[in-house]
Structure formats: C-alpha cells, structure tokens
Structure 1
Amino acid sequence: MSLVKILCCLLITYHLCEGRKIKGNRAVCLCSVTSESDFLKVQEPYVSSTVFRLFVEGEDTCTLDSPQLHALTACGFNSSNPLIIITHGWSVDGMMESWVLRLASTVKKNLVDINVIIVDWLSLAHQHYPIAVQSTRTVGKDIAHLLQSLKELQYPVRKAHLIGYSLGAHISGFAGSFLEGSEKIGRITGLDPAGPLFEGMSPTDRLSPDDAEFVDAIHTFTHERMGLSVGIKQAVAHYDFYPNGGDFQPGCDLQNIYEHIAQYGLLGFEQTVKCAHERSVHLFIDSLLNKDKQSTAYRCSDNSAFDKGVCLDCRKNRCNILGYNINKVRTGTSKKLYLKTRPRMPYKLYHYQFRIQFVNQTERIEPSLTISLTGTKEESGDLHITLPEKISINKTYTFLITLDKDLGELMMLKFQWEGSVLWKNVWNRVQTIIPWGGRMRKPQLTVGRISVKAGETQERTSFCAMENDVQHVEVSEEKVFVRCTDSAPKQRRRKHN
C-alpha cells in the first residue's frame, strides 16, 4: 500500500473521531487497513438504551458504565459466580416496582455466591403499552450485548439465569435469540409473561423454549377480558406452571383490598389491581425463602381435569417443583403443570386425590359429603365435599382436595353423608306427622373402597369399612373407615376417562 493511501486513511479517521467528539461521544474509533482490500473499517461503538445495575446489598446498586472487566470488577462482579439478570415489565408511573429489589435481595441472601444485575429500561417502559412492546427487542439486544461482552471476557453465558416479569419475560427471550454463537443462556424464567400483542405469536416473536438451554414460566393472571388477558395463556417454555388454573389467584379479589391497604398504605388499591399478575414474582420468591415448603405441580391436560384429581402423577417427569429449585429436565414439547396454592406466603398446599366407590345405588342421591383424615402427623379436620353430579349406581368418583399441612402416613378416614337440606326437612316433617314413619327405610349410600393418593409422596392408601366389605351410610350418619389390611402405601396406576 502506498504512503499516500495510509496518510489518507489516518486523515479520514482523525476527522471522523473529531466529529464524534463534537457530539459529546466518548467512543473509541478504530481503523484497520489491509493490503488486499485497501478499505477503511470503522467499528462503531454499541450504544445501549438500557441501564444495568449490579445489586450489592440492601437497596444499594452499582451502575455499570460499560461491560468492560474493569467496570464489572469495580462494582464487585465475581466472575467465579453464576449470574442472575432481573428484568421488570411495563411501567405506568415510571418508577421501579418494589418487588425488583425484594427479589434481588432474596436471591443475594439465599444463594450468597451470586452476581445479580437489575435491568433498568424505565425510560422505554414508561410509554403507551404498544410503544413499550416495540422496545422489548431493543432491550433484549442490550442484554445480549452485555452477555456477549461477558463471553469475550471468558465468562460462559450458560452461567446466566434471566428472570423477566411480564414484558421482561419476552425481553429475556429476545436476549437469548439475539445472542451470537452456538452457546445458549443457561436458563430463562418468565414470570407471568405479558399476553397482549404476544398471545398467538410465533416463537420468534415471544419467549420460547429455544431461547435458552432451559426455560420455565409461571402463569398467574390469564383471566380474559374483552378477548385479552394480562398474562399469556399459551405455553412458552419447557415447563409452564399454572397455579390455581393460571387465570386468577386466591387473595386477589376486591374484598381483599382492605388487607392490601393495611399492608401497602395508599398503594393498596394498586396492589389489588396487579395482585394476580405479580403473584408470579412472589411465588418465585417463596421458593427461595421457604426451602422446606417447595410447591409441587403436576402435568395435566387442563385445570378442569386437575380439579378432578386425576393428574397427581410424578412418573416420567410428570411433576416438578415450582420456582428456583425446579428440576431442569429439557423436553421436546412444552409441559403444562397445575397446582393449588394458599392466598399468602408460604404458598404451599398438599394435594390429595380421593377415589370413592359407590355400589348398588338404586337412585340418584345428593352428593354433599363431609370427610376427615387422620395421619401419623396431623388431622385434616372436616372437609366438605360437593361432587359436581348426583351419585348414581356402581360408579367411582374422583376429586381433589388440598391441605396446608402434611398429614404424614394416612391411618383413618371418617365419612359422613350430609344429604340435602330439603330431604332433611321432609324427613323431619314425616316423623312429626306420622309417628310410625320412623320405620320407613331411609335412603342410604352404599360405599365400597375409598382410596387416597398423596401427590407429594406419591403414596396411595386404601380404606375399608371396619366390619364389612361395604358400608351403608344414612343421612347425617358418620362412619369410620380404616386402612385396608392389604394396603401398604404404594403407587398405583389407574386409567381415567
């Protein structure tokens, strides 16, 4: 290459860099010249629209001016530790929501050796919702650039776990799709991924299982209004959890507004409005705080089938732990898992499947029952059950009950048929008017074997009548069933239609 060409290159580079200085940019200007192509290559700096803050402790954060090693280490980034990146969602008031720091603090305290970065994209999130949606790809690109920079510093991106709430869930997905190279992000957790403008979209336009080595999502507010739901209904992960059916959450009704005002003050009404949507965050936090009370969810076709109690099966990865401690088994297709929770933390409930066999019924009978269980640890107390249909001849009914305590190994069951209020009134009237009416035969339930399966332990226990193979139960009469002599707790496979 001639000396004239080299001088021209240097002159052009100088003017380009000076032009950027006038505009106030601190960018580094690079020029490379090859003898073969004789062309000028200017490497433009990446300009991020997002602010990244490394969480330190308490409520303290350290803003990362650049993804360079010196900036990271100055803030306390430890390249030996895994990384969690938390991304918030759409912002109505332009303020960082309180759950962000609470989640960051919980992660830091409970995992200890961890790097936590908070993604601040409030300037883009505090816009009309459709405009904020348009910015999700931009923020995803910013996160991908951060991870790419870490990768160049020999930090493997598989050590990164992205946790995104609402729009932040899709941002995390875009970050995974924008990442260069074959190495993928280790894990993405979507906390009630946003529904509007994402529902029904192709995997490339939303969070999807392809965005990381492992993807899980918690759906808590898919209740539909005017054809839209706040949270996305469709499965978007390897494991999609639907607590309480995923459409709404206990403790989030308007009658709970006074409780929220007492807890959050003037923000209580706002908390009631976003309660179900934000429940996904608190379920995840709960999984970190209450390690002895991990919530188990079960694969099922839909919530209606789950309510019938036919899905408490853990074989072949049909159940999993909700939250941070999930069993990361990557599968070819998305798995939908269901569970019930309490209205407040700790959210864990214990799931029990009941199967009751009724025999030789000659008429359809009111299905109102009261059952109580006694185990080696606890007693359930009275459980009032109303079957969805009247009890008819030679049929086995299956239903689900949940308890907030572990009963231990099941030993005894008490059973009472309540009957209908109308029938009780008629019977009492007959006995008053016709004294000999007491000799009339009351209607009876004839109960065969009762079996109970504990979802969390997968143990099935069968209960039999104390004296006979069947038990005749009259209205308001309590009968005791004990564990059958051939019933050591065991797993049993049943086919349900």
Structure 2
Amino acid sequence: MFSNSLIVIVQIDGLGCTAGPPQALGSQSEHTRTKKDQQSLETKFQLYTDTTEEGCQILFNQLETLDKCSFNASLPLVMIVHGWSVDGILEDWIWKMAAALKSQDKQINVIIADWLTFAHQHYPIAVQNTRHIGQEIADFLEWLEESIQFSRSNVHLIGYSLGAHVSGFAGSYISGTSKIGRITGLDPAGPLFEGMSPTDRLSPDDANFVDAIHTFTKQHMGLSVGIKQPVAHFDFYPNGGTFQPGHAELLFMSFSGITQTVKCAHERSVHLFIDSLLHNDKQSTAYWCNDINTFDKGMCLSCRKNRCNTLGYNIREERLPKSRRLFLKTRARMPFKVYHYQFKIHFINEIQGKQIDPTFSISLTVLILHHYSVFVFCSVEGINGNKTYSFLITLDTDIGELIMIKFKWEGTAVWENIWDTVQTIIPWTKGTRRPGLIVKTIRVKAGETQQKISLIQGKKKIIVENILNLN
C-alpha cells in the first residue's frame, strides 16, 4: 500500500445503545496534555509476534523496549486498538486481524493497543475516555517520531466501532501541521457520536486519507449501534449498511440470540476487512450511489471518474472534497465477494389498459472454463406498455461469456387459459399472433469488468418460454 507505514486497528465489542448528553465527550482542551508531564501511558502497546497472543510490550519513553521487542523502524507498523469491552478481555478477532496483516505483508510491525482499563466501563464513561486514549496514541506516535524518526505520514489507524473515534481523536490531537497517513473506521460507533460535529467524532480531517465500513446502522428508538452518517473520504455500506446477511436466524431465538445478532452484524465490518487481506484474488468492489434503493435497481455500477473503489485494506487512496457513499452486496460468509450486474429488460405490453404482474425466472447460460453453467433468478414487476426495467443481480462467479438468456414465466392469476401458459411468442416467427407481452431487448452491464452486453430477440440469444399472450 505504502512504504514505511503504520496501521492502528481499534475495536468495540457488544456496543449498547445507552443514550446520554452530547457533552459526555468533553472538549478537546480538557484532554490535551503535554508529554513532559507524563512518563507512562495507561494504554499498553504490545508488538504482535507469530509465536504468542500476548505480544511484547513496548513501554512509552523507554527506547530499550523497542530493541527488546525487535521493533523495526524501517518497516510499516500496524497497531490494533480495541474499543468498549463488556467482559474486559481482548476479543479473538484482534489476533485474527494481526495474523491476516502479517500474512498480507511479512515486512511490517503489528502492535495491539490494550486500553481495557478505560474501555471496561459503562458505555457513556467509555465514550468519555475515547479522547484520553486518542491523546495517548498521539503521544506514542510523536514519541516514535522524535526518538526513531518514524514519520506519522506512514501511520495507518484502523478503528473498530468506538475505537474508530479513538483513532479520529488521535489524528486530531497529534501536534504539528502534518497528519497521520490513513485512518480506517470499522462500523464506527453511533450512540453519542451520530450527528456530532467533525471535531467530536471520526472525520476526514483526522488523516491524509480516511475510509469507513458501515455494517450495522439499523436504528431502534432513534439509535443505531454503528454510525449512519458519512465520516470519511470513502464510506462503504455493504448490503445497505443497516444489516448483514447470515444473522437473521438468531433474532428470534432468545435475548442472547439478539445480543449475538447485534455483535455479529456490528463485527461484520472487521471480517470484511480481514477478508480483503486474506483473499487478494477476490477483492470486493463498491459503487458510488445516492441510496440502497437506487443501487438495488442496478443504476450505480459505473467506475467512471472514481465512482467505484475497493473495500478494505487495498482501497485506492484518494482525498475528496466531500464524503462519497459507496454500496455493494456481499455473501453471508467469507470470502464475501460477489459480482454485480445490471439487467435492463425492455418489455412491450401490447395489451391495452392492462397491467401485468408476472413472476418470472431467468436462466443465464454462460461459458465458464469451457463448461456451461446455469444461474436462475426470480423477480416480480408490474409491467405497463412499452418500458425498460432495471434491476441488480449478484453472482458468486463472474458470468464470463454470456451465451444465452432464457425466460420462463411462472403461473399467476393473470393467465386466462391453459394455452396461454404454454404458448411462446417469438416476434420473428411467421404468421399471425394475438397481442401479448414481449421481451424485446436485454442489456447487461458487469460492474466489476465494466463490460456491456446487448441481447436482442431475433439474434436468438433470448429464448422466451410461457410468455403471456391475452386477447
């Protein structure tokens, strides 16, 4: 990504929705300290190694601990920092993240910042403590810069939930005019941060480049676990950002099931980021769009003028004057990548004054590695007159060369007799026919490759079965 860089990862676990006054955060001046007044920090900075999950502790203002822990100042540094803690224990995902970062690029240092003493509190108190921990991270980075000339521009802070705002405060508190290189917010916390000014939460001003992944912004009583508003240069909203696939079955089991659902959806941001590290060949692409409803129609699959970007570690870093919201779909489990396609189907309804609401399936016959494969989808639309309909289809596999599209209309109440359910209307056949519903053209756009395919009836790439035909 960049040479001689530092990455910091921050977590919150089991975030609750306790409301509190905005002033609970305190002001920046209340938390600003001078380094000469401190000899140690509450935060423990542990250098991750492949042989232990405890790491080797680097002590602030003690240069010998850098040597003892084999810290390499010429290499990038990854620092993992957790957020609010319910049980006072570092979560398993932290070590998975550290291992994934090391597997991505062995030539890096990975540090875990442990601030459990301040995080294992009632949520509003932990929120108050975020500024203090942000200041300590800033002090630690300044110490590295002054003592071993490690540039802050090579620092990448990755903050999960409450820790995303810790990272933001660290970026804003660091002295001087130059900024931290990058901050990544993984589902930044919502309660006591939603709607706050940029100085009271993570914002694009906190680093040279800021990106964020929003995975659980579903609101309940006006609050959401993850912050909904944009807080970065690029804000990613997988599956709309409100909820994530694979968690719904837990909702109705028990209270503990609901708790696990919240944790699971909230923590999905972490695993999406880990996925981007572990699967270089399956990087997820997201697309700039106004909202999820427009995206679900397949209207936003353009990569022109930087309208798309890669989610996770390998994002294309670009500073923008205004936050950009990007959407994508994912699978329910790792690897999360899917391929996005816009299907635009031009229907001609020749039946005057009648809206048709058919259910239909689409079979795509494609050539993948010289073998034919078929994918089937279902959709329902109200079809009037001469109109083009657009919708989004996602696949686990790139469809490659599209050989044929086959429509099959399912039985609905609109069919008037048995003959109509089996009759096929093919415009290029000879002879007379009754007015009906015709699929004239299908246009397909692939988001990931930006390729466009146009299929026209008469070219024999569209086969229509059981097409509607009524008097």
Which sections of structure 1, spanning at least 5 residues, go unmatched?
1-41, 262-266, 432-440, 478-497
Query: What is residue 363 of structure 2 aligned with on the other side?
Result: 372
Match of 1:206 among 182, 201, 204: 201
* In structure 2, C-alpha distance between the alignment counterparts of 1:123 and 1:469, rounded to whole Å: 65
Residue 68 of structure 1 and its aligned partner are, at CA, apart by 3.7
Match of 1:455 among 430, 447, 450: 447
Distance 1:116 1:174, change over 3 A: same
Q: Which secondary structure state, in structure 2, belongs to the residue aligned with residue 86 of structure 1?
A: strand
1:87 is aligned to 2:44: no
Under a length normalisation based on structure 2, what TM-score does the superposition of the two structures give? 0.83
Match of 1:239 among 194, 209, 234: 234
* In structure 1, C-alpha distance between the alignment counterparts of 2:144 and 2:171, rounded to whole Å: 14
Report the residue type matching 1:341 in the other structure.
Answer: T
* In structure 2, C-alpha distance between the alignment counterparts of 1:472 and 1:91, rounded to whole Å: 57
Query: What is residue 411 of structure 1 aligned with on the other side?
Result: 403
Report the count of equivalent residues. 418
Quick check: 2:407–2:464 contact (8 Å CA) kept in 1? no
Higher helix share: 1
Query: What is residue 277 of structure 2 aligned with on the other side?
Result: 288
Which sections of structure 2, spanning at least 5 residues, go unmatched?
1-34, 422-432
Quick check: 1:419–1:475 contact (8 Å CA) kept in 2? no
Task: Show the 5 A alignment for 1:251-270.
Answer: 251-255=246-250
Point out which structure has higher relative CO (alpha carbons under 8 A, 6+ apart). 2
Report the residue type matching 1:371 in the other structure.
Answer: I
CA offset digits 1:111-130 (Å, max 9, x no partner): 11111111111111111100
Distance 1:63 1:474, change over 3 A: same
Report the residue type matching 1:383 in the other structure.
Answer: V
Task: Show the 5 A alignment for 1:346-365.
Answer: 346-362=335-351, 363-365=354-356
Task: Show the 5 A alignment for 1:64-103.
Answer: 64-103=58-97
CA offset digits 1:22-62 (Å, max 9, x no partner): xxxxxxxxxxxxxxxxxxxx943344221111111242401
Residue 236 of structure 1 and its aligned partner are, at CA, apart by 0.2
1:319 is aligned to 2:314: no
Distance 1:43 1:349, change over 3 A: closer
* In structure 2, C-alpha distance between the alignment counterparts of 1:472 and 1:195, rounded to whole Å: 49
Quick check: 1:416–1:476 contact (8 Å CA) kept in 2? no
* In structure 2, C-alpha distance between the alignment counterparts of 1:229 and 1:394, rounded to whole Å: 43
Query: What is residue 139 of structure 1 aligned with on the other side?
Result: 133
CA offset digits 1:299-335 (Å, max 9, x no partner): 0000000001000000011000000000111111111
Distance 1:325 1:287, change over 3 A: same
Query: What is residue 13 of structure 1 aligned with on the other side?
Result: none
Report the residue type matching 1:349 in the other structure.
Answer: V
* In structure 1, C-alpha distance between the alignment counterparts of 2:55 and 2:356, rounded to whole Å: 64
* In structure 2, C-alpha distance between the alignment counterparts of 1:315 and 1:340, rounded to whole Å: 20
Residue 147 of structure 1 and its aligned partner are, at CA, apart by 0.5
1:427 is aligned to 2:417: yes
Residue 269 of structure 1 and its aligned partner are, at CA, apart by 7.5
Residue 85 of structure 1 and its aligned partner are, at CA, apart by 1.6
Report the residue type matching 1:98 in the other structure.
Answer: D
Report the residue type matching 1:373 in the other structure.
Answer: L
Report the residue type matching 1:97 in the other structure.
Answer: E
* In structure 1, C-alpha distance between the alignment counterparts of 2:378 and 2:184, rounded to whole Å: 36
Quick check: 2:356–2:414 contact (8 Å CA) kept in 1? no
Report the residue type matching 2:72 in the other structure.
Answer: N
Quick check: 2:343–2:445 contact (8 Å CA) kept in 1? yes
Residue 70 of structure 1 and its aligned partner are, at CA, apart by 2.1
* In structure 2, C-alpha distance between the alignment counterparts of 1:446 and 1:473, rounded to whole Å: 11
Quick check: 1:219–1:231 contact (8 Å CA) kept in 2? yes
Distance 1:404 1:93, change over 3 A: same
Residue 411 of structure 1 and its aligned partner are, at CA, apart by 2.5
Distance 1:446 1:222, change over 3 A: same
* In structure 2, C-alpha distance between the alignment counterparts of 1:254 and 1:185, rounded to whole Å: 41
Under a length normalisation based on structure 1, what TM-score does the superposition of the two structures give? 0.79
* In structure 2, C-alpha distance between the alignment counterparts of 1:475 and 1:418, rounded to whole Å: 9
Quick check: 2:420–2:468 contact (8 Å CA) kept in 1? no
Query: What is residue 113 of structure 1 aligned with on the other side?
Result: 107
C-alpha RMSD of the superposition:
2.7
Quick check: 1:448–1:469 contact (8 Å CA) kept in 2? no
Distance 1:67 1:455, change over 3 A: farther
* In structure 1, C-alpha distance between the alignment counterparts of 2:303 and 2:188, rounded to whole Å: 26
Report the residue type matching 2:356 in the other structure.
Answer: I
Identity %: 57
Distance 1:48 1:109, change over 3 A: same
Q: Bigger shift: 267-276 or 358-367?
A: 267-276
